[in-house]
Structure formats: structure tokens, C-alpha cells
């Protein structure tokens, strides 16, 4: 662990930071009420606040330090099958085809959508009538959908040959709408450059926190809905079950009032996993690379956080320019995926991301590896 020039900032790096990332973090450290920043080894540039940060404040809430996909996170669950279930192309193809139907990318057809939202989501009102309208109109159709970009559903092999399922998804269009709504209302401190904020105890601050908590819950229900749908698919195709007692479930885009580090603070995590002592977590690599199940070590200097994945090495536009279809196919050798979509998946190629093993080495004092998994079949929507 080393310090940056600003004493508020600690970092755990797998490689030197680019100047643009370092400058963005330095500006954030000077923003009003920012008490501490922990920089994770998967850090990379993003709008206003970098991905791969935990940011602590005393009284102010920075929506940009949570990000637009509020509650985005991971779920991992063990199956009753050996990974040999997917050794043959025919079995893999049947499963992949079923995933496109049971876990669509954008939304369900009205005929296959859930009849209603879970009662807890229906009974928790959002802060504005427009958001309530979206909840009743769109949230039901999107519940149990994967999303695009870096979201994925993957079957993996552990070191004992057991088949696991991992899902990476978030709050879908609802999180985006909630974030955009509050960003438009956020107060900007005119004398200090930096992202917009709310006072946590102000009416608008309380509205944001309540809506963000709803989005977190929606994202969790979204992942659970996909697990339930895939459980039915596995049973229908192979008479294989998912062991819900093995479920690991956590998100990496949120803000919480916590005691970790220098006192009671609002800890914002944007692409950072909560890693309190003994807390289970899931840290994915990328398409074609290893993922890890972890236990947090609860290091106060890191705001009890760890990386949420490998982190991008290339922006999406850079990846599309540098990585061709053949390269992606080579990098995915040994992993089933929809090769017909290779041209549209180049920005998600393994080489577009940092080395996950270097990332895990860089954060050994933040989190403990419990289990390493290798990809067997990857489903990504485009």
C-alpha cells in the first residue's frame, strides 16, 4: 500500500495509474466534505467519479460516487452437477439457447413477464410520480433481465469440478432513471469544483437515499429472478438443481452509513465491493478468465472495501479498434459462447480488461480468496 500526495487517498494498485485517472481522483479528494478515498486495483476512468473507488463523506451524498446502475452486483450459486455436464457442444448449445429465452437482455415479453413486482418493492414508494409510473410500467417487464455491456451470466468450474452459476446484473432501467432524476436535482457547491451533492439530512438527500435503497433491492430481486428462471431451465434440460443454501449475493454500487475507517461516515462505493471482516463476496474476471469467491478482511484504510472485478484496461472504443473477432475467439478458447456475436463482443474481450490475478495480488490485505473458478459457458447480451 502506498499513499498519493493527498493524505485522504489510499490506493492498492495492480499497475500504475494513468494521469487522467490520477487527476480525476485528486479533484474528487478536494470536493466538499470528502474525508477519505480508497482506490481499488480495478480503478478506471468514468464520468465524474472513477469506477473502482470507495469514497467516504461526513454529511454529504454524492450520487455520482454511486453511479447510474445503483445496486449492480453479483450472485453466485452452486449446482448439483459436475462441470462435465457442459463438456459436449450439444448440451452447451441447448443451455445457451435457453438462457436467451429465460434471461432476456432488455425485458421480458408481456406473456413471460412476472405477474407483479415483489410486494416489498410495490409498497415502497419512490420520491416522484414519474418514477412511480416507471416502476409500475417498466420495472415488472425488466425484472429478471440481464442487461448489456459488462453484464453476464456464466457457468463456471471450481477446483473440485463442481458447476457453479454466476450472474452480474443491476437495477436495469430503473436505476438509470432514479440516478438521472436526482442528478437533475442535485445541488452544486459553486465555490468548489466537483460532482453535485445533497446534504444527507435534507429532504432531497433523504429522497435520494430512499430511492437508491429501492434500486438496490430491485437489483437484488432482479438477480434472484434470473437465478430462479435458470434453475427451472436446468431442471427442464438436465434434471439439475441449484443449491440456494450456497448463494453468495452482494452488490458494488451503493452508499451506506458505516463505521469503518475514520469514524461514522457515508461510504459510497462505485465499482467497489464491501469487504468487512468475514463478509462473503464475488469478484469476477472477464469473459474467458477466472473469478473468485472471497471473504473480506475489514481493513479500515480501504473503507472495508475491495475491487469489484478486473477493471477495464481499454475503453470500449479502444477495444473495438484494437481487438478483432479472431482475437476474441482465440481468447475465449475452451469457453462456450455465441460466436456469431463475436463482432459485437470485442469491447468485452478478456484483453480489454486488466489481469485479474494481478488485481487479486494487489488486494491481498483487503480480501481473502475462498474459491477460484474457471469459465465454462458465458452468456452476454448485445
Residues 6+ apart with CB under 8 A from 318: 352
Q: How confident is the model at residue 114 (pLDDT cuts 50, 70, 90)?
A: confident
Q: How confident is the model at residue 31 (pLDDT cuts 50, 70, 90)?
A: very high
Q: How confident is the prediction for the chain on average, in pLDDT?
A: 94
pTM: 0.95
Instruction: Count helices and strands (H / E) in the chain.
Output: 10, 17
CA-wise closest residue to 256 among 209, 204, 198, 202? 209
Mean pLDDT of 14-23: 95
CA-wise closest residue to 273 among 242, 307, 298, 300? 307
In this predicted model, what pLDDT tens digit does every residue of 132-161 receive, in sequence order?
Answer: 999 998 999 999 999 999 999 999 999 999
User: What integer pLDDT is reported at residue 110 of this predicted model?
Assistant: 72
CA-wise closest residue to 25 among 2, 59, 55, 70? 55
Element (H, E) at 356: helix 356-362
Geometric angle at alpha carbon 204, from 203 and 208, rounded to 5°: 120
In this predicted model, what pLDDT tens digit does every residue of 223-243 receive, in sequence order?
Answer: 999 999 999 999 999 999 999
Element (H, E) at 108: none
Mean pLDDT of 243-268: 93
User: What integer pLDDT is reported at residue 1 of this predicted model?
Assistant: 39
User: What integer pLDDT is reported at residue 382 of this predicted model?
Assistant: 77
State yes or no: pLDDT of 323 exceeds 90: yes
Evaluate whether the domain defined by 2-313+353-379 bears CATH number 3.90.1860.10: yes
Catalytic residues: 308
Quickly count: other Cβ atoms within 10 Å of residue 47's Cβ: 11
CA distances from 213 to 101, 129, 175, 179, 185 (A): 29, 17, 10, 12, 18
In this predicted model, what pLDDT tens digit does every residue of 36-70 receive, in sequence order?
Answer: 999 999 999 999 999 999 999 999 999 999 999 99
Q: List the chain domain ranges.
A: 2-313+353-379
User: What integer pLDDT is reported at residue 317 of this predicted model?
Assistant: 95
CA distances from 124 to 118, 119, 127 (A): 10, 9, 10
State yes or no: pLDDT of 2 exceeds 60: no
Q: How confident is the model at residue 192 (pLDDT cuts 50, 70, 90)?
A: low
Q: How confident is the model at residue 381 (pLDDT cuts 50, 70, 90)?
A: confident
State yes or no: pLDDT of 348 exceeds 80: yes
Provide the CA 267 distance to its chain's centre, in angstroms. 17
b/e per residue, 121-147, with b = 16+ CB within 10 A?
beeeebbbeebeebbeeebbbbbbbbb
In this predicted model, what pLDDT tens digit does every residue of 193-234 receive, in sequence order?
Answer: 678 999 999 999 999 999 999 999 999 999 999 999 999 999
Q: How confident is the model at residue 3 (pLDDT cuts 50, 70, 90)?
A: very low
Quickly count: other Cβ atoms within 10 Å of residue 19's Cβ: 8
What cell does 366 get?
Answer: 483487503
Amino acid at each position: 500500500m502506498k499513499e498519493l500526495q493527498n493524505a485522504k487517498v489510499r490506493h492498492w494498485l495492480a499497475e500504475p495509474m494513468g494521469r487522467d485517472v490520477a487527476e480525476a481522483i485528486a479533484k474528487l479528494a478536494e470536493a466538499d466534505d470528502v474525508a477519505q478515498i480508497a482506490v481499488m486495483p480495478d480503478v478506471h476512468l468514468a464520468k465524474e467519479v472513477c469506477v473502482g473507488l470507495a469514497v467516504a463523506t461526513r454529511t454529504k451524498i454524492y450520487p455520482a460516487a454511486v453511479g447510474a446502475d445503483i445496486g449492480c452486483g453479483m450472485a453466485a450459486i452452486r449446482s448439483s452437477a459436475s462441470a462435465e455436464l457442459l463438456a459436449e457442444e450439444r448440451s452447451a448449445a441447448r443451455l445457451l439457447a435457453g438462457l436467451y429465452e429465460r434471461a432476456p437482455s432488455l425485458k421480458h415479453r408481456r406473456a413471460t413477464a412476472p405477474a407483479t413486482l415483489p410486494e416489498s418493492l410495490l409498497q415502497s414508494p419512490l420520491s416522484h410520480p414519474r418514477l412511480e409510473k416507471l416502476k409500475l410500467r417498466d420495472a415488472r417487464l425488466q425484472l429478471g433481465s440481464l442487461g448489456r455491456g459488462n453484464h453476464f451470466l456464466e457457468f463456471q468450474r471450481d477446483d473440485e469440478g463442481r458447476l457453479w452459476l454466476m450472474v452480474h446484473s443491476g437495477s436495469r432501467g430503473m436505476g438509470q432513471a432514479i440516478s438521472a432524476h436526482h442528478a437533475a436535482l442535485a445541488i452544486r457547491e459553486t465555490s468548489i469544483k466537483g460532482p453535485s451533492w445533497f446534504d444527507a439530512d435534507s429532504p432531497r438527500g433523504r429522497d435520494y437515499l430512499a430511492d437508491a435503497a429501492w434500486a438496490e433491492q430491485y437489483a437484488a430481486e432482479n438477480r434472484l429472478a434470473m437465478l430462479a428462471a435458470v434453475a427451472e431451465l436446468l431442471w427442464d434440460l438436465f434434471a439439475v438443481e441449484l443449491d440456494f443454501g450456497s448463494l453468495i449475493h452482494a452488490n458494488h454500487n451503493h452508499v451506506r452509513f458505516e463505521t469503518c475507517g475514520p469514524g461514522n461516515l457515508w461510504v459510497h462505493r462505485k465499482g467497489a465491493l464491501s469487504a468487512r471482516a468475514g463478509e462473503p463476496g464475488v469478484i469476477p474476471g472477464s469473459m474467458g478468465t477466472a473469478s473468485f469467491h472471497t471473504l473480506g478482511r475489514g481493513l479500515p484504510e480501504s473503507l472495508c472495501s475491495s475491487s469489484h472485478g478486473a477493471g477495464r484496461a481499454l475503453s470500449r472504443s479502444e477495444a473495438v479498434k484494437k481487438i478483432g473477432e479472431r482475437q476474441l475467439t482465440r481468447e475465449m478458447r475452451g469457453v462456450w459462447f455465441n460466436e456469431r456475436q463475436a463482432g459485437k463482443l470485442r469491447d468485452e474481450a478478456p484483453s480489454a480488461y486488466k489481469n485479474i490475478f494481478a488485481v487479486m495480488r494487489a488486494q491481498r490485505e483487503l480480501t481473502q480468496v475462498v474459491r477460484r473458478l474457471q469459465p465454462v459457458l458465458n452468456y452476454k447480451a448485445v
